[in-house]
Amino acid sequence: MVRLQDDFYEAINGEWEKTAVIPNDKPRTGGFSDLSDEIEQWLISQTSRWQQGDDLPENTILQNFVAYHRLTSDTQTRDQLGAKPILPLIAKYQSYTSFSEFANHIVELEKSGFPNALPLGIEPDFKDARTNVLWAGALSLLLPDTTYYEKGHAQGQVLLGKFREEQEALLPHFGFSQSETTKLIDQYLALDARAAAVVLSQEESHEYAKLYHPYDWNKFTSLVPELPLDDILTELVGQKPDTVIVPEERFWAVAEQFYSEEAWPLLKAYLIVQAANQFTGYLSEELRVLGGQYQRELTGLPEAMGTEKAAVYLAVQPFNQAIGYYYAQKKFSPEAKADVEDKVASMIDVFKQRLQSNQWLNEETRIKAVTKLNTIVPHIGYPEKLPQRLYKKVVNSDASLFETATQFRQIEIEHAWSKWHQPVDRSEWHMPAHLVNAYYDPQQNQIVFPAAILQAPFYSLEQSSSANYGGIGAVIAHEISHAFDTNGASFDEFGSLNNWWTDDDFAAFQLRTEKVVKQFDGLDSYGAKVNGKLTVSENVADLGGLAAALAAAKRDDGFSAVDFFESWAAIWRMKARPEYMQLLAASDPHGPAKLRVNVQVKNFDEFFETFDVNPTDEMWLSQDERVQIW
């Protein structure tokens, strides 16, 4: 049996892991996943009853969800149609004889939600978080990160081979011969390789403050003279923009490699392959399963999601917020909402006290930090209102599944472009209430806790107060800490990019965060190496969250450090497929679950005292190597 003093995570979770079974259509199981699986079963059961005409919802949005679910569940019709619903779309791309002809149809394709290789969108301005502006991204890569394309990468070439195998099986269903299929794949991968040479790596893309590069519109359009951006944006937002934010400067500096007559043969193939792949979930069962093969290879899944479950998830996508709201009304009581709101207020108060007593910040910075903390807006359980555009998603009895899905995409895309130069809607949530997750939004200075995560094992009245603080308390404080992590620290109380630190204080902060980078960097995770810089913001938030939650737990009578630390270890229990863990190590800003437990607890004196950890034990970390920030 593993000793707590040698591997804390394993000692708490080892017995569970021996019998835990990963579902064949999932990459992992564990604390978060078990709860998600319970919600999934509720969702499947509830939607099945609706399909049978039982307990039908009165809400008009959910009534349209039920109607849409009938379309996604009609596998007989879907199997009969096969690939037919998207053959006209593929023919459209095939009909374009030049880049200029395609470029004249980009707006039409964009408004319908069809592939168009235009990585532009509307997001809040970093310098004025109250207003939405135009951002220019880059093409997405096939592999998880730019590092996978480096010579000698162990998985890169293997995964490219797996993608080729998938496409060789899939593309002939859309009428392509073997030679045409091979050529399409070759050209697709050629354009993908061009993108991989210039786009941001995962590590780079998670350093938010370094992404803000405003360009004068005329300067930006001069980078890509063959792409009629003036006309495109005038059609999309009503006029030419003055500026655009360009985080992907390297990509746009060589934009002619993607948007030109020279690049057109590669781009045309890229669009055709995307069109064939993007919509397989709406087609026959055979094509749905074939279309997900590459993703299953990435995460190590032995089988595809079952037909019934896939139909539910497909139907939920355009109605996500409404389903979440319904779940919260059924499962999250007003009493629980009030109790969690009190806990959030308590955690903010603890965090404030810790900031006010901080010894390494100067008074000037400390006051500004407290000001930012005081303006954090918490959202608990579910949003106060649903987005109005959900009411526009009406199922026409004469329309097919693909036609209806296209109509729903058009509604979302119209809404997305309508936000240009409009005030940011700070009431809209970025995840539904039935999702087991939480987030901090640095540009809105908000913390959001969906109802799904506000239950066991994170929070339960049957657990001790200390266990709840080690669970949901640490999660709440983690999100608060994001306001002061390596990304959040660059944004002020209004959510705008603004240096509110003195130079000395920010230098002291960077020294501490660099120690966190070193604690994680290069550690093994299923044969992959953890990137300390990629994971630093989440690790800093974990560290601050644990510190604040521990301080809060100590306030209560009957405080138990054992309950606190063991609860922290238990919520992160996870059994996962090696392929999935290797993928996370390359692309996920969160550290691996086991390391989030074992590395973090070693920064707390209370851990060593509680479990009698000594210098000869594996869990030992000398006093001078322990890190505390918040």
Q: Which of 125, 441, 492, 542 is catalytic?
A: 542
Q: At what angle do helices 8-19 and 561-571 cross, to 10 degrees?
A: 50
Distances in whole angstroms, Cα of residue 549 to Cα of each of 51, 455, 459, 535, 539: 44, 17, 13, 21, 15
117 within 8 A of 102, measured Cβ to Cβ:
no
Which tokens go with 548?
């604040």
Ramachandran assignment for 2, one of left (phi > 0), alpha (psi -120 to 50 degrees), beta (any other): beta
CA trace torsion 355, 360, 363, 364 (10° rounding): -100
Cα first-last separation, the chain:
35
Q: Which residue has the tokens 């300390």?
A: 532
CA distance 568 to 469: 9
- Residue 136 pairs with which residues in a beta bridge? 120
**Annotation says 479 is catalytic:** yes
Distances in whole angstroms, Cα of residue 347 to Cα of each of 351, 549, 570: 6, 7, 21
**Annotation says 542 is catalytic:** yes
Q: Which of 110, 192, 479, 579 is catalytic?
A: 479
The total of other beta-carbon atoms located within 10 Å of residue 58's CB is 6
DSSP 416-433: HHHTTTSBP-TT--SS-T
HSE value, Cβ hemisphere, 13 Å, CA-based, for 46: 18
Q: Whose CA is closest to 142, among 254, 277, 304?
A: 277
**What residues are annotated to the active site?**
479, 542
